Chains A and B, each alone.
Chain A
Amino acid sequence: MSATPLPVPGPATVAVERWDPRLTRRRLYGSIFYGACLASIIILLLTLFLILWDVLSQGLPWLDPQFVTGVPSRRPEQAGIFPALIGTIQVVVISGLLAFPVGVGAALYLAEYAGNSRVTRALRTNISNLSGVPSVIYGIFGLALFVRVFGFGFTVLSGALTLTLVILPVVIIASIEAIKAVPDAQREGAYALGASRWQMVRRAVVPAAAPGMMTGIILAMARAIGETAPLILVGAFTFVTFLPQPFEGGYTVLPIQVLDWATRPQADFHGLAAAAIIVILVLMLVLNGLAILVRARLSRHIQW
């Protein structure tokens, strides 16, 4: 067993390479990546621009007062959207009126009353799962329940009830967000003044959460204007020349009118479809603007 002699540090024989951080190259990669990020947003912006340009350039020549007040016709130059416009307004307003109390009530229960029990966790998971169900499936449910079982038939009422279910998860989620944003001090203040739970909810939580709740329902209604698939299932027709009655007879809505015109072979009808799309987009813009206004108005007095 011979002791290995310890290596004696001699004069450096290996030239140590200077460490090179290669900063120039690494920064170049960074710039390329940043460029890719910007490119992605430019592509999206360009797509959005092309969509709007396509719709406007095809549709604007067809957009005149006669188009808005007229009824569908076999001759493109005489065709109008009035029945579809009225149908859309009826369906969206009714479903908004139904979805608001139910959605806000559900949100209040989930956010203010329900604890963290297994049942309430299941309720919450259920809401998020419902928001992921394809809207066409709601149409099938509406067909089975409202049209057949309840016997409402292919009416505005069936369509509005179906759309109510489609937008309900959105309304509930938006309302829960609004309720959660109310500071606990508001609740404690109400309790300290001797309020019961419902008094506290009604006088402290609801007014403070109202801007968020109203915004939620209005934006949900804006989305409902463009919903098409579920209404096809519950019988919105494509060719309606009369004004819909809410509880009887046929009806149609704007997006289904668009579908009908867009799938015809003659190019003139594609222009009509684009013009109807412009009307849909304008209605959505109006509702979005309304949401901003309502939010600003209702939150004027809220300070914390």
Chain B
Amino acid sequence: MNASAARRPLMHRKPASERIMEALLFLAAAVGVVTTIGIVAVLVYETLEFFSIVSPVEFFTGTTWSASIKPYTFGVLALVSGTLLVATIAVVIAVPLGLLAAVLLSEYSGTRVRSIVKPVLETIAGIPTIVLGFFALYFLTPNILKPIIGDDNIGTFSALAAGIVVGVLITPLIASISEDSMRAVPRGMREGAYAMGATKFEVVRKVVFPAALSGIMASIILAASRAVGETMAVVLAAGTKPQMTLNPLESVQTMTAFIVQISLGDTPQDSIQFKSLFAVAGTLFAMTLVLNLISNRVVARFRTSYE
């Protein structure tokens, strides 16, 4: 302490170059914050403008969405339900696939299994989502779903086909975060269970799985958020028919698909349809933000538990 106090007069002022570099690096780090503030500001401003024409009550409680055919109605629940239907199917498919893959990687992985599983997951994670949409539209639906379900029961576009490919898309996310949290379970806990005569499966089911549960939950919530925000696969596979339905064989329109549909068309930028795009985007942003925040919370809790 004394020594540093004695040294202080010599270097109480950093050279200019040091201060300039630190300031530049800080500016770079601030770009993220500026982006966040900018996104929120744009969405709030434009959404409020939309709400001056269409009442928020009508927007948030209405169940019919008709932005291109008169009479125009803007009930966002029709789009929200389509989004949730696709996301639910995706999560139902991705959870078993992702968790089983994670167990394989974390608990059973000999180098051979690992050398197959890891690249497969990474490749799937890297496929552009529009490719998955193409696959759903021109392979999955005509060659697999139609023969199984029947030609008349499922159309070209369906929530099911979209949900399946989005499920494939989010599986690597669940697998990699769950694997990390399973690996974080201390060895001693597993060995304790083995010492009491548990089989490998019992160790996984009764020790590793409960201990890693918060990480697993976080991965599922994060994957759900990704599924809600997924765009191109859904644009191609789910269709453009906004409706409230629980039937996965129907065509639905998601919030993201609506945004793309409006911006692809010749909709004038000052029209009510174009303004509704911002309100839909604001709703979407709020939904994914809440999911991400919950997931962060859960992850933070799991990190502190064993370290």
Tell me whether B281 and A136 are in contact (CB under 8 A): yes
A-B contact pairs, 14 of them (CB 8 A): A34-B201, A36-B100, A44-B121, A48-B123, A113-B26, A128-B292, A129-B296, A132-B222, A134-B231, A135-B229, A139-B263, A144-B42, A228-B128, A258-B134
CB distance from B10 to the nearest CB of A (A): 13
Nearest 9 CB-CB pairs, A to B? A226-B128, A134-B229, A105-B28, A30-B201, A40-B100, A109-B25, A229-B231, A132-B292, A106-B29
A37-B108, A54-B135, A225-B128 known; A105+B24 contact, CB < 8 A: yes
Tell me whether A41 and B104 are in contact (CB under 8 A): yes
Tell me whether B104 and A37 are in contact (CB under 8 A): yes
A37-B104, A54-B139, A125-B296 known; A258+B35 contact, CB < 8 A: no
Tell me whether A114 and B134 are in contact (CB under 8 A): no
Tell me whether B101 and A40 are in contact (CB under 8 A): yes
User: Roughly how many angstroms separate A226 CA and B231 CA in the complex, as a whole number?
Assistant: 12
- Contact surface of B with A, Cβ cutoff 8 Å: 14-15, 17-18, 21-22, 24-33, 35-36, 38-39, 42-43, 46, 96-97, 100-101, 103-104, 108, 113, 116-117, 120-121, 123-124, 126-135, 137-139, 168, 171, 197, 199-202, 204-205, 222, 225-226, 228-232, 235-236, 256, 259-260, 263-264, 277-278, 281, 284-285, 288-289, 291-293, 295-296
Chain B: which residue is nearest A144 at the CB level?
Answer: B42
User: Roughly how many angstroms separate A145 CA and B24 CA in the complex, as a whole number?
Assistant: 23
CB distance from A293 to the nearest CB of B (A): 18
In the complex, the number of residue pairs spanning A and B with C-beta atoms less than 8 Å apart equals 240
> For A92, what are the chain B residues with a Cβ–Cβ distance below 8 Å?
none
A95 within 8 A of B: no
User: Roughly how many angstroms separate A238 CA and B288 CA in the complex, as a whole number?
Assistant: 29
Chain B: which residue is nearest A58 at the CB level?
Answer: B138
A26-B199, A127-B32 known; A263+B236 contact, CB < 8 A: yes
A108 within 8 A of B: yes
Number of A interface residues, CB 8 Å?
86
User: Roughly how many angstroms separate A169 CA and B28 CA in the complex, as a whole number?
Assistant: 12
A37-B100, A132-B222 known; A106+B108 contact, CB < 8 A: no
> For B200, what are the chain A residues with a Cβ–Cβ distance below 8 Å?
30
User: Roughly how many angstroms separate A127 CA and B34 CA in the complex, as a whole number?
Assistant: 11
Within 95-146 of A, Cβ neighbours of B (below 8 Å) are at 101-106, 108-110, 113-114, 122-123, 125-130, 132-141, 143-145
Chain B: which residue is nearest A127 at the CB level?
Answer: B32
* Residue in B24, B103, B168, B259 whose beta carbon sits within 8 Å of that of A136 in the complex: B259
> For B293, what are the chain A residues with a Cβ–Cβ distance below 8 Å?
129
> For A232, what are the chain B residues with a Cβ–Cβ distance below 8 Å?
260, 263-264
Tell me whether A133 and B288 are in contact (CB under 8 A): yes
User: Roughly how many angstroms separate A51 CA and B22 CA in the complex, as a whole number?
Assistant: 48
Of A6-14, A74-82, A272-280, the segment with at least 4 beta carbons within 8 Å of chain B is A272-280
Tell me whether A259 and B236 are in contact (CB under 8 A): yes
Tell me whether B126 and A228 are in contact (CB under 8 A): no
User: Roughly how many angstroms separate A146 CA and B256 CA in the complex, as a whole number?
Assistant: 21
Tell me whether B126 and A222 are in contact (CB under 8 A): yes
> For A143, what are the chain B residues with a Cβ–Cβ distance below 8 Å?
263
A125-B296, A126-B32, A233-B263 known; A255+B103 contact, CB < 8 A: no
Q: Other CB < 8 Å A-B pairs besides A40-B100, A50-B139, 14 of them?
A: A26-B201, A41-B100, A41-B104, A44-B121, A51-B127, A140-B281, A144-B42, A198-B22, A228-B129, A228-B130, A258-B134, A262-B130, A270-B138, A288-B126
Chain B: which residue is nearest A123 at the CB level?
Answer: B29
> For A125, what are the chain B residues with a Cβ–Cβ distance below 8 Å?
296
Tell me whether A109 and B42 are in contact (CB under 8 A): no
> For A281, what are the chain B residues with a Cβ–Cβ distance below 8 Å?
131
Tell me whether B35 and A165 are in contact (CB under 8 A): yes
A5 within 8 A of B: no
Instruction: Pick the most buried of B15, B46, B131: most chain A CB atoms within 10 A of its CB.
Output: B131
CB distance from A98 to the nearest CB of B (A): 10
* Residue in A137, A169, A222, A258 whose beta carbon sits within 8 Å of that of B281 in the complex: A137
> For A226, what are the chain B residues with a Cβ–Cβ distance below 8 Å?
127-131
> For B21, what are the chain A residues with a Cβ–Cβ distance below 8 Å?
198
User: Roughly how many angstroms separate A258 CA and B15 CA in the complex, as a whole number?
Assistant: 54
CB distance from A117 to the nearest CB of B (A): 12
User: Roughly how many angstroms separate A216 CA and B33 CA in the complex, as a whole number?
Assistant: 21
CB distance from B274 to the nearest CB of A (A): 10
Tell me whether B278 and A140 are in contact (CB under 8 A): yes
Tell me whether A172 and B32 are in contact (CB under 8 A): yes
CB distance from B144 to the nearest CB of A (A): 9
Tell me whether B197 and A126 are in contact (CB under 8 A): no
Tell me whether B33 and A47 are in contact (CB under 8 A): no
Instruction: Pick the most buried of A110, A196, A232: most chain B CB atoms within 10 A of its CB.
Output: A232
A26-B201, A37-B103, A129-B293 known; A50+B130 contact, CB < 8 A: no
> For A233, what are the chain B residues with a Cβ–Cβ distance below 8 Å?
259, 263
> For B135, what are the chain A residues with a Cβ–Cβ distance below 8 Å?
50-51, 54-55
User: Roughly how many angstroms separate A135 CA and B250 CA in the complex, as a whole number?
Assistant: 26
A128-B296, A136-B260, A273-B134 known; A105+B29 contact, CB < 8 A: yes
CB distance from B258 to the nearest CB of A (A): 10
A286 within 8 A of B: no
> For A23, what are the chain B residues with a Cβ–Cβ distance below 8 Å?
199
Tell me whether A129 and B292 are in contact (CB under 8 A): yes
